[in-house]
Structure 1
């Protein structure tokens, strides 16, 4: 029979004492923790002869004559996007450069790493750069992957100690918060310096419709041609920066041989949960084949256009910008924020934008007021409280909703229930749908796709990457995709007669629309929790 413990008067004091001692220990540990000071970072750059590879020759043969342009194919459907990355890895001959905020130690992350290791076995140089925020407990996986002679793994802005668990990492680094809360949010995948994939997706189950709880609606693009060397140079800027640490400088050697490390990698990436995705059937929402079908036929169907690519400097993650100090936002002309604002403010007729996290801040509201004052229609699609995976961000967002509506912004919020009911973006089953795509269409001729959210964290603290595509055809495709979300999966917001926000759920057929007067698809507790936390959350950290 189990022993029962009676609650005594001194137990609360014991618990408080335990928490106090734990806090003192955490501060002591944090004072002792520090990044390695003498780190050997072997410089390397993108290969220069990718045009001579099979993929390079195919890209060249597919390009139109005349002015050098870049080729694009939007990847709105998760199965097609994962398939494209893996097929490119399978056909790589010289190099694969991979940069992500998140490579999760789950079925999808391990599947990608295995595809990269298989490429390395063929002699392909693989450089993997991952932000260190979500690598807790994954050092055995990444270090065994890095043991391959053709593979290098580096972490951006790493945690120096307590690496086994997310909580212990933060405990060891609590005195270094201003550094460790700034992250590399970039997402980039380049093969043979000639073709790649970029956009909003990280490498984890929930980005590819494989999570049992919730999955993201996102957007990537296949990119080839003239702009790819620019993307590679942006990767090199991070890879060779002093804010990046080789995994060997953070993870002590285990004494295992290279063969033993290879066997460990095989054990970690195979088994009952190993991913074996089928080649996507038929065509995607835009009528495109799975990439393998085109590559096998020796053709590459792309939309060719002029493009510009930008990335924030790596140092952004380690210091406050002028805007963070409350000064005017005059960012570097190579930063993503500067160029997003430049093209939004230059709009003449229409802006359509998607962002999962919407906190415009002072600079964003200046942009909205400017373009609305010029008569430009402005539509934004974002997450509802029920759809968001960051409820604290919703606190910051809701402070701006009424003003945006008064300015004439058409505001839509994703409905998890409606996304589950539609099959346009895939079968969600019992999982809920959430928006994660970061995109914009300006005047039906300029498209932005990248990693930047419309919130202070992306604007001030995290590094981002993005591409601008000057193509009415790509703009029309993205406009259609955003339209699918608005029509099939979102509520439109409006101001009621007394100025309160209302959510309009469009009806089918001749039925009347349903108007809701509180955050849709939420319960009392989730709304009440936000009311409690709202006064305590600093907007600058959201």
Structure 2
């Protein structure tokens, strides 16, 4: 009874805020000149390392980074060595120990004269907006927000409530993840900037995937960044966020470095990053190779792909889907001749996707899918959309695996999860053991029609082998295998207790009320909202 009363009070409060704030709107946009990355300077340290590491005639080089602390360290190492420019683009950049560590490193780079541009989607900036504003007021740094909220900025729900007539606009988010140093090295993949993406959170952590990238594809990433940076969907943070006393608001404006130090000083110390000698692929920390002046990479032909920043504001919903990164990845899968191995934390194929999967089955293309179990999913409603298709996927011959939080916490291949809840967040595909996709795109309607997404497609049998090795570790050591019971056709989850196979007949590691809620809500949740 108390829970329902609390929900009612929240709903009434939200309605009141909406009424009181119905006139909220963004300020008039100011004209600003377009800015572009320009050609990379071959005299920088990073450029010389790339040149020394690139065999004659090769296109682009890659290092997969399944281990969270290695991926975080790579960003820090690139920022510390940058001499010319840093371009940083993220869906979420949290004001936690990891976010502050990265922002501090960016500020230090700017102090050396590096031009720093930071672009963040505005959805999750409630806690980070003042820190980002302070950073923007330091020399050589610019910070912009994608598709910002006008008002009610100090609360997640109040932001939407303050602009009730703009819900359609605000539903479109920039889901991209990109980090480029000196125009010659980049980090791309699925990770946002927050503790849980690097296995440094006490409550929950993600299995995820990034790649360190060099070569001819890097300028394509910079072109993507520039298109977003100069788009009408993007605003300088100072035009949107009002400063507090600590960021030069009512208390008077401090010099940029001083106000940034105030915000950093009020927070906990940076995280202690412990780097193991090697990751699950046998690679050591990237700093060792950067210091040596030469990197060992896997090479292949690569293309960066991204949705336009205007998606879907300037096109119809059907056009947004048909030209999306999602459809490009579907196209890659439909070109498969022998096998497709896909990881997606949110897997809602829809009828169109099921028709594509059925076509793969008819052509005898082996399909393996890895996604979150109900217990591992941080978006339980999305699980309802996925659950509608499980039996059909299995009946068509697909191999289906769901991540187990318990089994993830017992392993150390992706980092020390300890007592934290393990979840899948990697968005990858390996096709015919020759082609790889790494990026930000989930296989769900939101990625196809609402969010902007990006990624990279690489033709490289060597890289595909490493990707498959990582996927196989996840599915065999950290997941349940699903099947349909003989005779009844009901779902079964298979695992082992170390000695023998265990068969479960209901959503594993989930409570009764969690399962009941999802069963109750599944029929009424529109799939296009997932």
> Shorter chain as normaliser: what TM range?
over 0.9
Residues 304-383 of structure 1: pairs in structure 2 closer than 5 A:
304-318=299-313, 321-323=316-318, 331-332=322-323, 335-383=324-372
CA distance in 1, matches of 2:489, 2:258: 64
Q: Which whole-Å CA distance do the structure 2 matches of 1:537 and 1:303 have between them?
A: 43
5+ residue gaps, structure 1: 1-11
For residues 8 and 265 of structure 2, the distance between their equivalents in structure 1, rounded to whole angstroms, comes to 45
**1:521 to partner: Cα distance:** 0.6
* Alpha-carbon contact 1:320-1:460 (below 8 Å) kept: no
1:292 paired residue among 283, 287, 306: 287
TM-score, length basis structure 2: 0.94
Residues 33 and 160 in structure 1, CA contact (< 8 A), matched pair in contact too: yes
TM-score when normalising by structure 1: 0.92
- Find 2:188's aligned residue among 175, 183, 198: 198
Measure the CA separation in 2 of the matches of 1:265 and 1:277.
21
Alpha-carbon separation, structure 2, partners of 1:106 and 1:474:
33
Structure 1 226/406 Cα, relative in aligned 2: closer, same or farther at 3 Å?
A: same
Post-superposition offset of 1:186: 0.2
Contact 1:279 1:290 in 2 (8 A): no
The alpha-carbon distance between structure 1 residues 16 and 455, as it changes in their structure 2 partners (threshold 3 A), is closer
CA contact (8 A) 2:138 2:255 kept: no
C-alpha distance after superposition, 1:305-351 (max 9, x if no partner): 110111001111436644389xxx6x23xx41232011100000011
Deviations 1:277-327 (A, max 9, x none): 3451311111111111111111111111110111001111436644389xx
SS of the residue 1:364 aligns to:
helix
Post-superposition offset of 1:215: 0.1
Match status 1:517 vs 2:505: yes
1:49-88 counterparts in 2 under 5 A?
Answer: 49-66=40-57, 68-88=58-78
Q: Residues 89 and 25 from structure 1, CA distance in 2 versus in 1: closer, same or farther, beyond 3 angstroms?
A: closer
Change in 2 beyond 3 A, CA 1:117/1:20: closer
Q: Does 1:184 align with 2:156?
A: no
Aligned length: 522
Q: Rg: which structure is higher? A: 1
Q: Give the 5 Å matches for 1:380-391.
A: 380-391=369-380
* 1:527 equivalent in structure 2: 515
| Cα separation, partners in 2 of 1:123 and 1:347, compared to 1, 3 Å | same
- Corresponding residue SS for 2:419: coil
User: 2:36 matched to 1:45?
Assistant: yes
The corresponding residue for 1:9 is none
Query: Does structure 2 conserve the Cα–Cα contact (< 8 Å) formed by 1:126 and 1:152?
Result: yes
Q: 1: distance between equivalents of 2:357 and 2:34?
A: 43
Partner of 1:282: 277
What CA deviation, in whole Å up to 9, does each residue of 1:41-81 have, x standing for no partner? 34211131333311011101110112x41010000000100
For residues 120 and 365 of structure 1, what CA distance do their matches in structure 2 show?
Answer: 49
Distance 1:500 1:250, change over 3 A: same
Query: Within 2, Cα distance between the matches of 1:248 and 1:183?
Result: 20
Deviation at 1:387, TM superposition (A): 0.5
Select 1:496's aligned residue among 485, 508, 512.
485
Aligned partners of 2:196 and 2:204 also within 8 Å: yes
Per the alignment, residue 155 of structure 1 pairs with 145
Q: Deviations over 1:473-531 (max 9, x none)?
A: 110001000110111110000011211111011354xx431110000011101001112
Q: 1:227, 1:309 within 8 Å by CA — same for their partners in 2? A: yes
Distance 1:344 1:65, change over 3 A: same
Paired position in structure 2 for 1:3: none
The match for 1:401 among 390, 399, 404 is: 390
Q: 1:18 to 1:343 in 2, by over 3 A?
A: closer
Q: Does 1:238 align with 2:233?
A: no
Question: Does the residue aligned with 2:389 lie in a helix, a strand or coil?
Answer: helix
* Structure-2 change in CA distance of 1:412 and 1:78 (3 Å): same
- Which residue does 2:15 correspond to in 1? 23
Is the deviation greater in 281-290 or in 200-209? 281-290
The CA RMSD over aligned residues, in Å, is 2.2
Q: Secondary structure of the equivalent of 2:37?
A: coil
SS at match of 2:471: helix
Could you tell me how far apart the structure 2 residues matched to 1:18 and 1:84 are?
42
- 1:109-120 superposed matches below 5 A: 109-120=99-110
- Structure 2 unmatched ranges of 5 or more: none
> What displacement does 1:148 show?
1.2
- 1:366-404 CA-to-partner distances (Å, cap 9, x unmatched) read 221111111000000000000010000001000010111
Q: Quote how far apart the aligned CAs of 1:235 are.
A: 0.5
CA contact (8 A) 1:320 1:461 kept: no
Tell me if structure 2 keeps the 8 A contact 1:321–1:460: no
Q: Which residue of structure 2 lines up, in the alignment, with residue 264 of structure 1?
A: 259
Deviation at 1:149, TM superposition (A): 2.1
SS in 2 for 1:37: coil
